[in-house]
Chains A and B, each alone.
Chain A
Amino acid sequence: MSTVSAGRLAKIFVEVADTMVDEFDLIEFLQMLGDRVAGLVDGATVGLLLADAKGRLQFMAASDETTKLLEMFQIQGSDGPCLDAFRGGAPVVNADLRAAAARWPRFAPVAASVGFRSVHAFPLRLRKEVIGAMGVFGRQVDDFDDTDVQIVQALADVAAIGLLHERAIRRSEALTEQLQGALNSRIVIEQAKGVIAEAHNVTVDVAFELVRAYARRSNRRLTDVAQLVVTDLPALPDLARPDERFRR
């Protein structure tokens, strides 16, 4: 990935550093970070985890659904590269998943079985504190050289610093407030998926697509739409009415 142009890289860094927006949304920000990193590395997918107030890693964002499941699997199984990067505070790079069964007995076989060959994980660091981890998954063995590692780690560092400087608050409590709010928003999204799945008689995955498509169409935030779905569905007539195309 060292072939990425300096211009493109600079653009991504500016984007990741720009957290001083009016309505900062932690999940959207991490989603953007994941998408940008995935775009840097050919064929890679990216997942992001942050530690909650109890110090437990929580899934925050992923560039695709399979990666989301793999990240959640790491948290549940308590083994995997992201956990190692989080605990050790240092990158874990160039791991060949076919040769990693001893290192991650639960994670490695599952990741290999869904088609991944390599994995890299980077800590999200804030000064001396590790606040989370980012996993980069590849379907080929695609080793990072030192420059690649430095670039991705620098992006992760810029993102972590940006999180604290969000809204220019220097209070240490600000990140906790944001993170706990974001975790609750994720729950609202899951509840909204259930509401739409039941109302439209579709699977929860199709329900998520319906909610997401509606949010895009109406140019509203996913979390705001999800909140309305659960608390006041009649206010969203387009979503309240079952769409025949998605009937099971």
Chain B
Amino acid sequence: MDDEFADGAQRAATPPAQPLMAGDEVEPLRQVCADAAHALDACGVGLSVMTTDGTHGMAAASDPVTARIEELQFTFGEGPCIDAFTASRPVLISELGPAALRRWPVYTPAVTNAGIRAVFAFPLQVGAARLGVLDVFRSRAGPLSRVELGEAFTFVDRAVTTLLDGQERTPAASEGPNGLDRLDEAFNHGAELFQAQGMVMVQLGIPIAEALVRIRAYAYTEGRPLREVAADIVARRLRLDHDRHGDGA
């Protein structure tokens, strides 16, 4: 068991194979950004992939101008996006005013010069599995309305699903909404799903984010609901290391 942990820790320290992704993986993310920008009345939405070991980068944006703005925080090493990732919670800045300037003295003037007045940064994460951040930029100051905030979190869920599934396969169009429903359902009631993620992580000696991918891949391959698979794992009726179906199918 100790060796497995050591192995897991080592692998966790290695950057993911394709942190900034191949073209066919970027397109669905770009689509999430474009849809979010439209729905949230934003001047742009950017998505960055980050890992806890410091690997990071802009992965997709609604448009080329936003892509450059999204990259600014990495250039300066500060910004709402980086704080949202570090703290594992949203950082909602409805006005890039004096308080923002004190918090991010280099980032704030740079984005305000680009015409940005408000930034809303949402971490893309499932518990300790931290994947990146979705940034919503607006050219006018003011908070997201309650409805917009709810919508923003729906886009966050979609981005998480896309990131998780994009690593293993491009889901068929018909699987998209279905997969989203499953994740949404899991967020609602899924204590068992999260427990199963921890168990699979230890069973396979892999980082937690990869355990999520494996469980989802297994459920898709077997055509079974995620919750049911998770319940079997927690009840020890199923081990993914004993079942070849789950391996990168």
Chain A residues in contact with chain B, CB under 8 A?
A: 52-56, 72, 75-76, 171-173, 176-178, 180-181, 184-185, 187-188, 190-199, 204, 226-227, 229-234, 240, 242
- Contact between A184 and B9 (Cβ–Cβ < 8 Å)? no
Q: Are A190 and B87 in contact (CB under 8 A)?
A: no
Q: Is B52 in contact with chain A by the CB < 8 A criterion? A: yes
| Given known A194-B196, A194-B234, contact A187–B202 (CB-CB < 8 A) | no
Could you tell me if A195 and B90 are in contact, using CB atoms closer than 8 angstroms? no
CB distance from A191 to the nearest CB of B (A): 4
Q: Known contacts A187-B127, A190-B191: does B52 contact A231 (CB below 8 Å)?
A: yes
16 new A-B contacts, CB < 8 A, other than A194-B202, A197-B234, are A53-B153, A76-B188, A171-B92, A178-B89, A180-B89, A181-B90, A187-B126, A187-B128, A191-B194, A191-B208, A194-B198, A194-B234, A197-B195, A231-B52, A231-B128, A240-B2
Query: Residues of B contacting A204 with CB < 8 Å?
Result: 195, 234
Distance, CA A242 to CA B1, complexed state (A): 10
**Interchain residue pairs with CB less than 8 A apart (26):** A53-B150, A53-B153, A55-B146, A55-B150, A72-B191, A75-B189, A76-B188, A171-B143, A173-B90, A184-B89, A188-B128, A191-B127, A191-B129, A191-B195, A191-B197, A191-B198, A192-B198, A194-B194, A195-B198, A197-B199, A199-B202, A230-B208, A231-B52, A233-B5, A234-B9, A240-B2
Q: How far is the CA of A226 from the CA of B198 in the complex (A)?
A: 11
Contacts of B149 on A, CB cut-off 8 Å?
A: 53, 176
Which residues between 125 and 154 of chain B lie within 8 Å of chain A, taking CB atoms? 125-129, 143, 146, 149-150, 152-154
Whole-angstrom distance between the Cβ of A27 and the nearest chain B Cβ: 13
The residue of chain B having its C-beta at the shortest distance from the C-beta of A56 within the complex is B188
Q: Is B167 located at the chain interface by the 8 A CB criterion?
A: no
Judged by a CB distance under 8 angstroms, whether B101 is at the interface is: no
Nearest opposing residue in chain A for B234, CB measure? A204
Are A180 and B201 in contact (CB-based, < 8 A)?
A: no
CB-CB under 8 A for A72 and B89, given A54-B150, A188-B127, A191-B127 = no
Among B94, B128, B200, the one with the most A-chain Cβ atoms within 10 Å of its Cβ is B128
CB within 8 Å of A: which B58-92 residues? 87-92
B202: nearest residue on chain A (CB-CB)?
A: A198
The complex places the Cα of A192 from the Cα of B128 at a distance, in Å, of: 9
Assuming the contacts A72-B189, A191-B208, A230-B201, asked whether A184 and B88 have C-beta atoms less than 8 A apart, the reply is yes
Does the CB pair B91–A177 fall under 8 Å? yes
B12 CB, nearest partner CB in chain A, Å: 7
Closest chain-A Cβ to B149's Cβ sits at a distance in Å of: 5
Q: Which 10 A-B pairs have the closest CB atoms?
A: A194-B198, A181-B89, A187-B127, A190-B194, A173-B92, A230-B128, A194-B195, A195-B198, A198-B202, A198-B199
The answer to whether A176 and B194 touch (CB under 8 A), given A198-B202, A204-B234, A227-B128, is no
- Cβ of B6 within 8 Å of any chain A Cβ, yes or no, is yes
Question: B144 to chain A: closest CB distance in Å?
Answer: 8
By beta carbon, the residue of chain A nearest B207 is A231
Contacts of A177 in B (CB 8 A): 89-92
Distance in angstroms between the alpha carbons of A178 and B200 in the assembled complex? 29
> Cβ of B195 and Cβ of A193 under 8 Å apart?
yes
Residue in chain B with minimal CB distance to A55:
B150
Distance (whole angstroms) from the CB of B212 to the closest CB of chain A: 9
Known: A52-B153, A56-B188, A194-B234. A230 touches B198 (CB 8 A): yes
Of the listed residues B6, B94, B195, B203, the one surrounded by the most CB atoms of chain A closer than 10 A to its CB is B195
Give the CA-CA distance A172 to B2 in the complex, in Å: 46
Residue of B nearest to A54 (CB): B150
Q: Min CB distance, A201 to chain B, in Å?
A: 9
Contact B126 A181 (CB under 8 A): no
Q: How far is the CA of A60 from the CA of B103 in the complex (A)?
A: 30
Given A173-B92, A180-B89, decide whether A54 and B153 contact each other with a Cβ distance below 8 A.
Answer: yes
**B175-201, CB under 8 A of A: which get 1 and which 0?**
000000000000011010011111111
Question: Is there an interface contact between B143 and A173, defined as CB atoms closer than 8 Å?
Answer: yes
Q: Are B92 and A230 touching (Cβ within 8 A)?
A: no
Residue of B nearest to A184 (CB): B88
Q: How distant is the Cα of A72 from the Cα of B200 in the complex, in angstroms?
A: 25
Residue in chain A with minimal CB distance to B120: A173
A20 to B23, CA, bound (A): 48
Which residues on the A side are within 8 Å of B202 (C-beta)? 194-195, 198-199
A226 to B27, CA, bound (A): 35
Contact A232 B9 (CB under 8 A): yes
Interface hub of B123, B152, B234 (most chain A Cβ within 10 A):
B234
